[in-house]
Amino acid sequence: MLITHDTRCALDTVVDLVNTAPEDDTTPDALADVAALQDFVRNHEVSDVGVLSKFDLSAVRKIRGRFASVFAAPDARSAATLINELVAAAGTTPRLTDHDGYDWHVHYFAPGASVADHLAADCGMALAFFVVAGEQERLRRCEAPDCRRAFVDLSRNRSRRYCDSRTCGNRLHVAAYRARRKEAAG
């Protein structure tokens, strides 16, 4: 599956957006306030965004939950329904652009769109490409028992199981190794 630069950026953005949500009642929301949303927008180089407000924060949190549902969708049809709703509500207006030193790419949000509509349109379309390609199962949640972070499995054989093999994957492999050693020692 060919993934263009702008699609890859949108995938990274949607994964990071979904992962800003608190995992449980003890974890803080990484989008706690407008300043956190501004940091998110700046860190992900979300272009064409004006001054952000509490309304924007509320709207982004709402679509974040909708995107989380896409990662939890049991099948392509369910994912497609959710993505269609997100993209339609954003009022997509595909247009070619070559801003900020990037070559030609497609923006799906209307000029002057809110940050929530911008994210819903661009990120929704990036996820749509996976459904269209029959690759919806690549939109996953970490299989570590104490982690439910979202990620996109871009491995060649669709075998990635953890959000980060250096943390979640390694922690589980070390725990299994220690359990085997303990069992062998009797």
Task: Give CA separation, 168 vs 16, 62, 138, 161, 164, in Å.
Answer: 17, 28, 18, 9, 6
* Res 175: pLDDT: 67
Distance CA(83)–CA(72), nearest Å, equals: 12
Two tokens at 13?
């953005």
Cα 46 to Cα 36, 40, 179, 185, distances in angstroms: 14, 8, 45, 54
Which of residues 26 and 169 earns the better pLDDT score?
A: 26
pTM: predicted TM-score of the whole model, two decimal places: 0.86
Over the Cα atoms of the chain, what is R_g? 18
**Residue-wise pLDDT tens digits, 147-180:** 889 999 999 888 888 887 667 877 766 766 677 7
Mean pLDDT of 39-46: 95
The residue type of 64 is R
Distances 138 to 70, 79, 83, 142 between C-alpha atoms, Å: 11, 12, 15, 11
The whole-angstrom separation of Cα 162 and Cα 147 is 9
Q: Note the pLDDT tens digit of each residue in 69-98.
A: 999 999 999 999 999 999 999 988 888 988
* Gap between the Cα atoms of 68 and 77, Å rounded: 16
Give the residue ranges of DSSP H helices in the chain.
5-18, 34-43, 54-72, 76-90, 115-132, 170-185
Report yes or no: 94 and 107 within 8 Å, Cβ to Cβ.
yes
pLDDT of amino acid 165: 62
In the structure encoding, which two tokens stand for residue 23, read together?
Answer: 């995992």
What integer pLDDT is reported at residue 28 of this predicted model? Answer: 93
Overall average pLDDT of the 120-142 stretch? 94
Q: Give me 108's structure tokens.
A: 């799906």
